[in-house]
Amino acid sequence: MSRRRRGEVGEGDELPSLQVRVTRADLVRYAGASGDFNPIHWNERAARDAGLPDVIAHGMLTMALASRLVTTWAGDPGAVVGCSVRFTRPVVVPDDADGALVEFSGKVVRRVDEGTVVVAITARCAAQSVLGQATATVALA
């Protein structure tokens, strides 16, 4: 995909949605890559002892997937010059082949200047929002 150009993007533009299935195997791979081996991300007993309903995805994995929505749309990972989120609910990942379906959508909500826009990101799993106040600042070509 080519990089988005300044004149092509306006407030209210919606990004193509992204659906990602997160499985327990994904959590193991992410733990290895990130070094975050907290047992709430792979051990049901540890997750329940911590007051969680089951094993949960790493928050930073969920944030990275939200960023993928924007980088795919922008056509360049380097175009994202800032991002922020609040983690509002965990992504519970069942121990089955399907895992958890996380659905991402985004909309251009503001133009910072001629070449930069802010995208609001929505992330939902099991019909509930899992990220709050999620935004990405994108420098357009």
Q: Write the pLDDT tens digit of every residue in 75-102.
A: 999 999 999 999 999 999 999 999 999 9
Q: Domain 6-21+58-139 class?
A: alpha beta
Q: How confident is the model at residue 112 (pLDDT cuts 50, 70, 90)?
A: very high
The residue ranges of every structural domain in the chain are 6-21+58-139
Instruction: Name the more confident of 78 and 5.
Output: 78
Rounded Cα distance, 18 and 136, in Å: 15
Strand partners, 101: 21
Instruction: Compute the distance between CA of residue 110 and CA of residue 132 in angstroms, rounded to an integer.
Output: 17
- Candidates 110, 87, 108, 91; CA nearest to 99 is 91
Identify the pLDDT of residue 6.
65
The stretch 9-16 carries a mean pLDDT of: 94
